[in-house]
Amino acid sequence: MFRTDSRSLVVAGTLLLSTTLAVAMGGRPKVDEEAINARIQPIAKLDLASAQKAAAGGARGGEEIYKAVCGACHDSGAAGAPKTGDKAAWAKRIGVGLDVLVKTAKAGKGAMPPNGGSDATEAELARAIVFMTNQSGASFKEPAAGAKAASSDRSGEQIIKEACLKCHETGDKGAPKLTDKAAWSQRLSKGVDAVTKTVIRGHGNMPARGGMADVTDAELKGAITELFKLVGAETK
C-alpha cells in the first residue's frame, strides 16, 4: 500500500483542482501548451513553404512571383528600378535578350539583390521577367516547364532566315550585302567572336541582337559563322 501524508494530499488536490478549472474554462493551461509545443517542435515542425515548393517543382507563375517580389520596386521605380510599363526605360534592357536578363537577375545588379531577393527557381524567375517585360514592350515567350530561360535549339541558318536576311540580303539600312565581299572584308578580319560581341550590343542601324531579343549568344555565334561561310570566309 502507498503511504501518504496530509501535505501530499493537499498538493495533489490543488493541482487536480487547478487543472479541472482550466479545462472547464477553455482547455489545457497555456503554460502546458507551450511546453508541449517546445518538446515536439524538433519532430513536428515542418517547413511548409519549402515542402509545397518542392512538390510543385518550381511551378509558380510569373505574375505570382512578380507580385510577391518584383513589384515592390518595379511598380513604383523604387531604388532606381525601371518601372513596369515604361517602354523607354526597358528598351535597352529588353534588347539584350531574355537569357541575359535572367542571368542578371540571378546575379543581382545595383540595389537588386541576387535572385531579386527571392527563393524563385531559374524557371520561375524567367517567367516573372517575361511577365514584367512583356508589359514594357517585349514579346518574350515564356519558357516551357523544365526548359531553360532561353533555348539554343535554333541553327545558324534559321537565325539568318528569321532576322539577318531582312537587311543583309538587300543591303537595307546600310547593312553589307552578302554578295559584297569588299564590304565584308574588314568584318571577316575581326573573327567570329568579335563580330558576335558587336551584334549582341548592336551597331549603327542594327539593334542589339539583330532585333531578336530572345536569341542566345550561342545562336548568334552560329548565325555569324554561317554568314561568314556565305560570304566566302573560312572560320575556325
Query: What pLDDT digit, counting tens, does each position of 80-100 carry?
Result: 999 999 999 999 898 888 888
Task: Supply the pLDDT for residue 51.
Answer: 34
Task: Supply the pLDDT for residue 146.
Answer: 55
Tens digit of pLDDT for each residue in 182-202?
A: 888 888 888 899 999 888 888
Q: Please list the alpha-helical segments (H only) found in the chain.
A: 6-24, 30-44, 48-56, 62-65, 71-74, 87-95, 98-107, 122-133, 156-159, 165-168, 181-190, 192-201, 217-230
State the residue for C-alpha cell 534559321. 158
Alpha carbon separation from 34 to 38, 40, 43, 48, 63 (Å, rounded): 6, 10, 15, 21, 39
Domain with residues 156-230, CATH architecture: Orthogonal Bundle (1.10)
Alpha carbon separation from 114 to 71, 119, 229 (Å, rounded): 16, 10, 40
For 59-133, give the CATH class.
mainly alpha
Task: Supply the pLDDT for residue 122.
Answer: 86
Overall size of the chain counted in residues: 236
Distance CA 206, CA 195 (A): 13
Task: Supply the pLDDT for residue 50.
Answer: 39
Residues of the chain with pLDDT under 70: 1-58, 144-153, 233-236
Task: Supply the pLDDT for residue 44.
Answer: 32
What residue segments make up the domains of the chain, in order of their start? Answer: 6-45, 59-133, 156-230
Task: Give the residue among 104, 199, 119, 100 at the shortest CA–CA distance from 156.
Answer: 199
Q: What residues contact residue 3 under an 8 Å CB cut-off, 6+ apart? A: none
Distance CA 131, CA 129 (A): 5
